[in-house]
Amino acid sequence: NLSFKLDRAFKTLKGTGKITEINVATTVKEIRRALIDADVNYKVAKEVTDTIKTEALGRDVLISVSPGQLLVKITQEELTKLMGGTKEDISLKGDPNVILISGLQGSGKTTFSGKLAYHLKKQGRQVLLAACDIYRPAAIEQLKTLGEQIGVEVYAEPDNKNALEIASRAVEYAKKNGKKTVIVDTAGRLAVDEQMMNEISELKENLNPSETLFVVDSMTGQDAVNTAKTFDERLNFNGVVLTKLDGDTRGGAAISIRHVVDKPIKFISTGEKMENLDVFYPDRMAQRILGMGDVVSLVERAQQSFDEDEAKRINAKIRKNQFNFEDFLSQIEQIKKMGNLKDLMGMIPGMGKVIKGMDIDDDSFKPIEAIIKSMTPLERENPDVIDGSRRKRIAQGSGRTIQEVNNLMKQFNDMRKLMKQMNKMGGAQRALGNLV
């Protein structure tokens, strides 16, 4: 029924129903567990959550946002910062510029080379792919197939076993043929070994690439971090490409790698198709890692549309146990400003299922608004004067039933009771940062 639905909406949207249960420490612990579940290194996860705790306790909480949601938002901000804050482009300096692709076998180097070529081609750049994986004959074929698919020329010397020679001639070929970028796909081993490291270091020293990218399979978790460290020590690469971020992989490796090698992640690869390449945006990844995407935008929307002064005013009234029907009406206005109520509620994890098929929309407020608007100013400000005969008059005036008026009164009184209880816990609230 309507009163039940609204009760839920208010509780969830304002977080009032949760306040007494909210405990920053517990929430922070949950966030830490979520990070570790998403493959974030334990030490890194602990550092992040310690910062979050300090941040959360220092912030004013808007009446409209539950503390849990605010913590999610702060976490997202911290994770974004940890991953570099903003996106970083690759350098295309040089004529032609060389982009050297490094990484273990199977990490996705060849696939990424094709994707990057396609990405640059779509920007109108003339690109050449150089096939420098000299150990697996099939590797050249694989690159050629991709090249044909995306319409990018591939330079290869199938009988040559010297990667540097092939790459150098590819650069010469590019110069002669007006290609502006040479992407050098290289060989990789199943584990880091000396020969591979020597070969790729030699390529880097001689080709003077504008970008040396390290490609890493995000599904390999902690191993990804160790491999990144070893490659960086030898190669001092410019950026990281995280592959295989499709499916269930949550991308915690992005945070750990950034933390350990302090090099920006520049691209993510999310599938085998040539189109599945994305520029890396730290904020989007933070959202993904938290696995709570829509909650974050809900919090943001709430923060944008809720009038902070109004929130403070109501906050003060709640503290003095003076919350009345005028305030109630103003709260409804605020919630309506946030947009479609069903959409908003659908963003809350778990709520989507609950409200599916329910007819929650802005119209749900209409009967309530009608009832409150039929009250006299005296009744709105002093709800205790509303006795049986006044209820009857209000019902008639608003075109609603007495039952509905009674329900609203009950709901309102329950709300006030809850607020009173919260005020009694005033000390605890202040400790949690001015929550209401």
Question: Which spans of this chain sit near ligand GDP (rule: CB under 6 A)?
Answer: 103, 105-111, 188, 243-244, 246, 269-272
Do the Cβ atoms of 189 and 105 come closer than 8 Å?
Answer: yes
Question: Is residue 111 part of the contact set for Mg ion (CB under 5 A)?
Answer: no
The residue within the footprint of Mg ion, chosen from 12, 69, 107, 110 (CB under 5 A), is 110
- Residue sitting closest to Mg ion (CB): 110
Q: What is the nearest approach in angstroms of ligand GDP to the Cβ of residue 271? A: 5
Cβ closer to Mg ion: 139 or 335? 139
Nearest residue (CB) to ligand GDP, 226 versus 276: 276
| Nearer to ligand GDP (CB atom), residue 6 or residue 139 | 139
C-beta closer to ligand GDP: residue 230 or 305: 230
Instruction: Report the nearest approach of Mg ion to the CB of residue 167 (Å).
Output: 15
Annotation: binding site for GTP: 103-110, 185-189, 243-246
Q: Does 49 bind Mg ion (CB under 5 A)?
A: no
To Mg ion, the closest distance from the beta carbon of 113 in angstroms equals: 8
Q: How far is the CB of 414 from ligand GDP (least distance, A)?
A: 51
Considering only residues 135 through 174, tell me which ones interact with Mg ion, judged by CB under 5 A.
Answer: 139
233: Cβ contacts below 8 Å, ≥ 6 apart: none
Q: Output the known binding site.
A: 103-110, 185-189, 243-246
**Smaller CB distance to Mg ion: residue 25 or 138?**
138
Of 102-110, 199-207, 283-291, 391-399, which part binds Mg ion (CB under 5 A)? 102-110
Q: CB 186 → ligand GDP: shortest distance, Å?
A: 9
Residue nearer to ligand GDP on the CB measure, 108 or 383: 108
Chosen from Mg ion, ligand GDP, none, partner binding at 238 (C-beta under 5 to 8 Å by type): none
Choose among Mg ion, ligand GDP, none what residue 251 binds, the Cβ cut-off being 5 to 8 Å by kind: none
Query: Which does residue 244 touch among ligand GDP, Mg ion, none (CB within 5 to 8 A, set by kind)?
Result: ligand GDP
Using the minimum distance from each CB to ligand GDP, give the nearer residue, 148 or 272: 272
Q: Is 243 in the site for Mg ion (CB under 5 A)?
A: no
Partners of residue 98 on adjacent β-strands: 182
Q: Least distance to Mg ion from the beta carbon of 138, Å?
A: 9
Minimum distance, C-beta of residue 276 to ligand GDP, in the bound complex (Å): 6
End-to-end CA distance of the chain: 27
- Which residues in this chain contact Mg ion in the complex, by CB under 5 A? 109-110, 139
